[in-house]
Structure 1
Amino acid sequence: MLWLVGAGISGHRGLSLEAVQVLKKCDIVFVERFTSALSDSDLEGINAAIGKSAKPVQRWFVEDGREMLDAAKEKQVALVAYGDPLLATTHTELRARAAKASIETGVLHAASGITAIMGECGLHMYKFGRTVTMMSEPKSAVSVYNTVFDNLLLGSHTLILTEYSHDEKTGEPFFLDPTAVLKMLLDCERDLRHHVFSEETFVVVASRLGSSDSRIVSGRIKSLAGVGFGAGPHSVIVPAGLHFTEEEALEALTVCLDSPADNAASVKRISSQMIERYAPKAKEAVRHMRDILRKEGAKEKENNKGMHEVLDNAEYYIDDAERFLRQGKHELAVLSIGYAEGLLDALRFQKGINPWNP
């Protein structure tokens, strides 16, 4: 049998009475420390509680899983993990493999760091969107940036988990500092320019939840620049629109450096940004082209009749684009402004005049 056992968020002290009893009966106990931090002292505490030596294992061992599954066919085997054991996709996949191999499994749930972060900040859990992890690799920041952008468009908060790794040789843990997280996201803003992050963006940083020195700090990015967050693990929350009870909770339950703010207020869909940028330019191009045709005089009036009709259609498409945008039909809005610009470019090639540069 294979047991997946959660240790909760308080180290070995988070083990439930049931978990201790199950682990005492197991023939083999593995402890993984790659999903989050379980220190050497926690490992010693687990050993003392269950009366045997648990074996710490690396990520590859759990992902491979064959040794555990082979042993679980004949013996009682347990894998102890930080937080709740089924929040890690690696553990869920291991459980599914066990079921396919007709190996009985059991799950002992425990407190989850993810739900603890949401609750301790006082934010409403149902208002959170997709959770994402920020790694120290610069490419990771783009994915995080886009996830925050998508969540804000939906009016949802974003929980950003930060990189944790454990060097099996030195035993030293690495926690990505929140200051580095925010800097990478500001760098993304300079490249992508979707108005998601600025020095005024209000964020929440939760550190070491479940430990005696846990701390939650909230404020604008510029106010957090000089804060020392200490050892990890850390998580960052980017709130969207806040209910007044959430605002009150942030002010009461966190070290609140600034008044809570709605980060979603300044965020617009890319289609909205496009229409707002291109529609005025297209209207000006139409006016400029009409002025050119008008100046050619009555002699060319008949010849230019068809061109005026094309300009009429371009204006209709511009109006359609703005109407579709108001109706939330974003794809149709972009298509319409594209058709309008296409007609204007067709006239430009025919007349040899550039209406975009009056």
Structure 2
Amino acid sequence: MTLYMIGLGLGDEKDITVRGLELVQQADMVFLEAYTSILGIDKERLEAFYDKTITIADRGLVENDAESLILEPAKSQKVAFLVVGDPVCATTHTDLMLRAKQLSIKVEMVHNASIMGAAGACGLQLYNFGHTVSIPFWDDKWKPTSFYEKIKYNRQGGMHTLCLLDIKVKEPDFDAMMKGRQKFLPPRYMSVQIAAQQLLEVEDAILQQRAYDGRTTLCIGLARMGQPTQKIVAGTLQELSKADLGGPLHSLIICGECHELELEVVKEFLVEGSTYQLDNNTKLESLPPSEQER
């Protein structure tokens, strides 16, 4: 019949659109995608407001069992797939949509606010952003830096970079698995602090490429956008590596060339005692040629 992919926005149960709410209430089955992002409320509040039973769709369900649990029922029923933010902002959701269409299942999208738009609340103009990048958690054996080249590309063009920070939900505990027990690690959400620390470490390792400078490049930390506890903090990477923005979810912006109007808003969010100077917004392409080629 139909698969409805419905954006919930960034805040709570009331951020759903009127059309989205009507479709949820008409649906035979309702799933909540719960691994690319999180709402600031629990499933029970959604169920009470929507007057519907909701099934949590973790990564395993969506990637491995969507065929039988979501798509097969959607052939004959109305199935609502709820997504925090907007349903087209994650590759996983696009993949689910394509799989549904291959099975001749009608797909309807209901859009909503997402971090891609809410990032503009810091004062930066959205049309001045380049590639969005993801910053993954590092561990002792895995420290990917593929995002660095995209940040450098954006900065060379004077563009801002929105960094989406890693979420680890329902990650298997391999030590427990080796003992024959199924156990999951506690959820982890990357903070602006951790992201800034990793970016500083990358800068030290790949300094000659000069994608940014931890001491002078303007950066902006975003936390819980669209919620009553929303917080925005601006400063250098070194300053943000020590800034506490509270609970998840966090995002980080590495600024490119800023217009004076953008800076006029951003200055309100500078950390107290910041060493960043509003007239010191040096973009990469303004460096001497010898610096760019290093």
**Structure 2 length-normalised TM:** 0.85
Distance 1:253 1:199, change over 3 A: closer
Shift of 1:183: 1.6
Instruction: Tell me what 2:257 maps to.
Output: 241
Shift of 1:201: 2.4
Shift of 1:165: 2.4
Instruction: Tell me what 1:16 maps to.
Output: 17
1:132 aligns with 2:133: yes
| Cα root mean square deviation, aligned | 2.4
Matches of 1:72 and 1:115, distance apart in 2: 30
Shift of 1:255: 5.4
Match of 2:248 among 232, 236, 247: 232
Distance 1:140 1:262, change over 3 A: farther
Bigger CA radius of gyration? 1
Instruction: Tell me what 2:42 maps to.
Output: 42
1:161 aligns with 2:164: yes
Shift of 1:267: 7.0
Matches of 1:198 and 1:253, distance apart in 2: 18
Match of 1:151 among 139, 150, 154: 154
8 Å Cα contact 2:196/2:240 also seen in 1: no
Q: What secondary structure, in the 3-state scheme, does the structure 2 residue paired with 1:190 have?
A: helix
Instruction: Tell me what 1:211 maps to.
Output: 227
Instruction: Tell me what 1:62 maps to.
Output: 62
Letter of the structure 2 residue corresponding to residue 86 of structure 1: V
8 Å Cα contact 1:11/1:82 also seen in 2: no
Letter of the structure 2 residue corresponding to residue 142 of structure 1: T
Residues 182-237 of structure 1: per-residue CA shift (max 9 Å, x gap): 12112112221222232222210001111111100001233334321211111110
Q: What secondary structure, in the 3-state scheme, does the structure 2 residue paired with 1:148 have?
A: helix
8 Å Cα contact 1:27/1:75 also seen in 2: yes
1:186 aligns with 2:200: yes
Shift of 1:252: 3.5
Residues 214-273 of structure 1: per-residue CA shift (max 9 Å, x gap): 10000123333432121111111011111111010112366574434424247769xx54
Matches of 2:135 and 2:82, distance apart in 1: 24
Q: What secondary structure, in the 3-state scheme, does the structure 2 residue paired with 1:161 have?
A: strand
Residues 101-156 of structure 1: per-residue CA shift (max 9 Å, x gap): 11111111111122101x10111111101000101126555112222111111111
Matches of 2:52 and 2:242, distance apart in 1: 45
Q: For this pair of structures, how many residues does the alignment match?
A: 273
Distance 1:185 1:255, change over 3 A: closer
Matches of 1:264 and 1:240, distance apart in 2: 6
Q: What secondary structure, in the 3-state scheme, does the structure 2 residue paired with 1:129 have?
A: coil
1:106 aligns with 2:108: yes
Distance 1:79 1:276, change over 3 A: closer
Shift of 1:49: 2.0
Shift of 1:12: 1.5
Residues 31-62 of structure 1: per-residue CA shift (max 9 Å, x gap): 011111135x4311221122121100111211
Matches of 2:270 and 2:164, distance apart in 1: 18
Matches of 1:275 and 1:242, distance apart in 2: 19
Shift of 1:180: 1.6
8 Å Cα contact 1:21/1:50 also seen in 2: no
Shift of 1:93: 1.4
Match of 2:266 among 246, 250, 255: 250
Shift of 1:175: 1.1
8 Å Cα contact 1:31/1:55 also seen in 2: yes
Matches within 5 A, 1:277-296: none
8 Å Cα contact 1:199/1:220 also seen in 2: yes
Letter of the structure 2 residue corresponding to residue 83 of structure 1: G
1:5 aligns with 2:6: yes
Q: What secondary structure, in the 3-state scheme, does the structure 1 residue paired with 2:124 have?
A: coil
Residues 55-112 of structure 1: per-residue CA shift (max 9 Å, x gap): 0011121123202111100111111010001111111111112112111111111111
Q: What secondary structure, in the 3-state scheme, does the structure 1 residue paired with 2:225 have?
A: coil
Matches of 1:262 and 1:233, distance apart in 2: 27
Instruction: Tell me what 1:304 maps to.
Output: none
Shift of 1:170: 6.9
Shift of 1:18: 1.6
Instruction: Tell me what 1:264 maps to.
Output: 283
Residues 276-315 of structure 1: per-residue CA shift (max 9 Å, x gap): 77xxxxxxxxxxxxxxxxxxxxxxxxxxxxxxxxxxxxxx
